[in-house]
Amino acid sequence: MIRGLSDATSIVRAVHTRETSARDVTSAALRALGAVEPRLRAFLCTFESEALRAADLVDARVAKGERPPLAGVPVAIKDNICLGPDLCARGDGLGYGGTTTAGSRILARYRSPFTATAAQRLIDAGAIVLGKTNLDEFGMGSSTEHSAFGVTRNPWDTDRVPGGSSGGSAAAVASGVCPIALGSDTGGSIRQPAAHCGVVGLKPTYGRVSRLGLIAYASSLDQVGPIASSVADAALCLQAIAGHDGGDATSAREPVPDYSARLEDKPQRLVVGVPGQARSGANSPELADAFEASLNLLRGLGAEIVSVDIPMLDHAIAAYYVLAPAEASSNLARYDGVRYGTRANLSPQEGLRDLYERSRSEGFGEEVKRRIMLGTYALAGGYYEQYYATATKVRRVLREAFGRALATCSMIATPATPGPAFRIGAKTADPLAMYLEDVYTVGVNLAGLPAVSVPMGCTSGPGKPLPLGLQLIGAPLQEASLLQAAAMFERARGPLTHRPEVTAI
Amino acid sequence: MADARNAPESLSAVDVRHVARLARLRLSDGEVEAYRERLAAVVGYVDRLRGLDLSGVEPLSAAPVSVASLGPDDPGPTLSPGSVTAMAPESHDGFVRVPRVMDGGEGGA
């Protein structure tokens, strides 16, 4: 990073005024990436020469008088978001030409023929893609340990996980490689790694951002969104990627407000609802203290803190681990070793069933197989009513309860996670313990709501300091109010008391 | 959670083999037991949903999105045949190639 240019807002201003060039910003970001990457392993592939060529194109646009809203901003893209061979909309043949693996062996050599809408919109806005980031295979995990291509480490403590599944994107932003990265969030995969890495993560309303080109995990829950170094940068990113896309039938036809315009205004009246579950005894003591301190900070800013009652939140994890695997078992049926992806080496005696079973068994990792089987079980004859149908009813009750709560308050606050980032390996042998990591985030996906995770403080030890995240949940399409409240909180909180151990800034 | 771990028998090895077959996954005998144990813990946990009174509740399969209307049904360019077969692990003459389907293929075994 160039000194003083560690956030997207400053970079865009400096590139627009030609105080610096997109090329210089990109070179600095690539140096930063090279410096921290050996210790973090946040990236699955990087695009040095392509990024510099893309930066030159942005500089040329600026020279012609254009003012691209993300001019020269280095970004990282989670590797379940497709980048095609010809990325440049202007037809000059610029291509990033990388693979899109979704963290899976079954897509190890897959090259997408097209680019995801969210990524294309960032590129059109002048952002420079540095590389693709590591993730839990197909987004299935909360630690980035379930990647076929190795574990990403937390920049605050490299013995700990960065969270997941967008752990590579969160680590890239937290270590100062780039101020913005794209993640995807099916049950917390943007907000939880953002919290564990001390950065901002926003899961937009279901339908707010196009999923065209996002490799599907659970289609009724998946949403693309920003991980960013600040609330203002998250707003800039959302501005670029939000909005209707004819290529995604679940993309909302709703106007996109100006997310940055009112970011510094104080919300007129802020009533923050706190569900009882937010104060669970399972929270780590330091997190519980940081959460109360955050509520006090909000109170000091004029917010009214009220209790809200969402009893069905107790069952969100159980419903999620029926619905998400059920959808995954269907979505991942496409990996059959026939049309794309890896095919097992068959002997001449083997037939089509061998091809399916061996390609899938050799191509998928353990957690993916576990979720496919769980979903197949929940949808199987005799169990469908008991599991899948029941979970969809829990989902309706939960959405309605959130709706009632959000009719009485402006937003809902909970911790983003029950505790700070855990040690690598601590939860891999116990899937259920890993699933409970998402206790505060999955309900939001089931209800289709927007939510932001913003750093609320750090642990004070023993051991290295670790960041903790506050989650603010809003009514559908209320991202602007959420970002405004998060920005107010961020200003009042001030800089975090500690910095990551591995940082390029 | 404790309940779930006390009831690991909720899912049998036969269930796991059946589900793996439906899902087109092949597990070794050792894997069957490992998956059974961990899947049983999760199934035991999600079994808590069975005690809920959800009578009269309509299912919700996805949050509603204002899609307003269907898009125009205009034919347009899509992937070329070449780029499709280029993605396939094995192709021949513009076709995707698979092993034999009859006699020992999907129908047999």
**Is residue A176 left, alpha or beta, with left meaning phi > 0 and alpha meaning psi from -120 to 50?**
left
Q: Which of B4, B43, B87 sits opposite A340 (nearest CB)?
A: B87
Residue A353 to residue B109, Cβ atoms within 8 A: yes
A residues 410-439 lying closer than 8 A (beta carbon) to B? 430-432, 435-436
According to the model, what pLDDT value does residue B106 have?
59
Give the tokens for residue A8. 């997207």
Residue A394 to residue B49, Cβ atoms within 8 A: yes
Distance CA A114, CA A236 (A): 24
Sign of CA dihedral B50, B54, B60, B63: negative
Per-residue pLDDT of chain B (109 residues; tens, 9 = 90+): 334 443 444 799 999 999 999 999 999 999 999 999 999 999 999 999 989 999 999 999 998 887 766 777 888 888 888 888 989 999 999 999 999 887 655 554 4
Q: Looking at A6, A104, A165, A481, which residue is catalytic?
A: A165
- Residues of chain B in contact with residue A373, where contact means CB-CB under 8 angstroms, are 16, 19-20, 23, 25, 35, 39
Q: Which residue of A has its CA nearest to B86?
A: A340
According to the model, what pLDDT value does residue B2 have?
37
Per-residue pLDDT of chain A (505 residues; tens, 9 = 90+): 677 789 999 999 999 999 999 999 999 999 999 999 999 999 999 999 999 999 999 999 999 999 999 999 999 999 999 998 755 434 444 556 668 999 999 999 898 888 999 999 999 999 999 999 999 999 999 999 999 999 999 999 999 999 999 999 999 999 999 999 999 999 999 999 999 999 999 999 999 999 999 999 999 999 999 999 999 999 999 999 999 998 998 999 999 999 999 899 988 899 999 999 999 999 999 999 999 999 999 999 999 999 999 999 999 999 999 999 999 999 999 999 999 999 999 999 999 999 999 999 999 999 999 999 999 999 998 899 999 999 999 999 999 999 999 999 999 999 999 999 999 999 999 999 999 999 999 999 999 999 999 999 999 978 999 999 999 999 999 999 999 999 999 999 999 999 999 999 8
Give the tokens for residue A376. 């197949």
Beta bridge partners of A46: A131
CATH class in words for A1-505: alpha beta
Residue B49 to residue A390, Cβ atoms within 8 A: yes
According to the model, what pLDDT value does residue A96 have?
63
Q: Which of A246, A322, A351 sits opposite B99 (nearest CB)?
A: A351
User: In terms of C-beta density within 10 A (0-12 exposed, 13-18 middle, 19 or more buried), how is residue A459 classed?
Assistant: buried
- Residues of chain A in contact with residue B22, where contact means CB-CB under 8 angstroms, are 376, 380
- Residues of chain B in contact with residue A377, where contact means CB-CB under 8 angstroms, are 11, 15, 19, 39, 43
Optimal mutation site among A209, A223, A374, interface B, most CBs of chain B within 10 A:
A374
Q: Is A189 a catalytic residue?
A: yes
- Residues of chain A in contact with residue B42, where contact means CB-CB under 8 angstroms, are 321, 370, 374, 431-432, 435
Sequence ranges of the domains in chain B: 1-51
User: In terms of C-beta density within 10 A (0-12 exposed, 13-18 middle, 19 or more buried), how is residue B102 classed?
Assistant: exposed
Residue B89 to residue A111, Cβ atoms within 8 A: no
According to the model, what pLDDT value does residue B5 have?
40
Distance CA B98, CA A405 (A): 54
* A255 contacts chain B (CB < 8 A): no
Cβ atoms < 10 Å from Cβ of A299: 13
Strands of the sheet containing A451-458, edge to edge, are A43-46, A128-133, A74-78, A180-184, A224-228, A200-203, A451-458, A467-473, A411-415, A271-275, A304-308
Q: Is A6 a catalytic residue?
A: no
According to the model, what pLDDT value does residue B83 have?
86
Sole residue written with tokens 């600040």: A230
Under CATH, what is the fold of the domain B1-51?
A: Histone, subunit A (1.10.20)
According to the model, what pLDDT value does residue A280 have?
95
- Specify whether the CB–CB gap between A110 and A55 falls below 8 A: no
* A254 contacts chain B (CB < 8 A): yes
According to the model, what pLDDT value does residue A412 have?
98
